[in-house]
Structures are given as structure tokens and as C-alpha cells.
Amino acid sequence: MTAPSRLLLSNLPKGHELATDRIDLTSARIAAYLAATGDTNVAYADRDIAPPLAVAALALGALLEQIELPAASLHTSQEVEARAGVPLDATLALRGRIAQRSERAAMVISVLEFEVTPEGATEPTITGRTTVMMPGASRS
């Protein structure tokens, strides 16, 4: 969590756009996710559709490669919306931005919005809003 090239989330202003990233939603990655969560529903394999929370988790994991969370950060709320099923083995474009940033006392509250769009699609299929509360920091 200390890679110097990453941006410190608490320093990013409202409106900051993170670099567009790519997620390869392989069946193996989804299988690893389902094994980790202990989810044995057959609906995913029956329809070749990924769990929306898996897509959101992989999106957040990818965004964490760009941003660093200060120590003692708290993930305080989460929204995830599926607008369509995300097919297994799709390649997804991931976009993220800082939708809100506020300061209270010594804490910073940032809302990170993200959306994933399968290659060839024109609209996002999964969107999310992640709220993180963290100590204020000035280093970049």
C-alpha cells in the first residue's frame, strides 16, 4: 500500500478522473472470487454471467493500483448497480472519478464513482459509488 507512484486518495480533488483501466473478467478470476466468498449459486455458470459484486470488487481492486489509501481509512458505504448482466470472459473498460470530497475536523470523506463497460458495449453495465473516510493528509 506504499507504492510511490500511486495517488493518495485524500489528496485527490472532486472531479479528478482516474486513468481508464482494463479488466479481463476471466472465468478463472470469477471462480477464485466465488471460492473466496463461498458462493455456490449455479446462476452464474448457468447463464455465463458474473456476480455484480465480483465485478465491483475487481474494479475497486484495479483502482487501488492507482490510488493509495491513507492508514486508518474506513470504507463507510457502498452502492453497486447492475444495469445488465456482465458476461464471463469479457474485457471491461473501467473508469473512475472522485465524485465528492469534503473535510470534517481532521478527516477527509471522498466518494469514488466507477463504471465498467464491456468491450463493444456503449453503456456501462455495472456502476458503483464507494465512500471512504480517512485522515487528512497533505503529501502527494
Partner 1 sequence: MSAPAVAPVIKQLSQEQIARYADASGDHNPIHVDEAFARATPLGGTIAHGMLVLAFISEMMTSAFGAAWLSSGRLRVRFRAPARPGDTITASAQTQTERDDTLTYAVECRNQEDEVLISGTAEVSRG
60 binds partner 1 (CB under 8 A): yes
Number of Cβ within 10 Å of residue 112's Cβ equals: 23
In this complex, which beta carbon is closest to partner 1, that of residue 80 or of residue 99? Answer: 80
What does the alpha-carbon distance between residue 60 and residue 38 come to, in Å, rounded to a whole number? 20
Which part of the chain contacts partner 1 (CB under 8 A), choosing from 10-18, 74-82, 88-96, 110-118?
A: 74-82
Question: Is residue 8 within the footprint of partner 1 (CB under 8 A)?
Answer: no
Is position 77 an interface residue for partner 1 (rule: CB under 8 A)?
yes
d(CA 37, CA 91): 22
Of residues 24 through 43, those in contact with partner 1 by CB under 8 A are 29, 32-33, 35-39, 41, 43
Q: Which among 42, 17, 21 has a CA at the least distance from the CA of 91?
A: 21
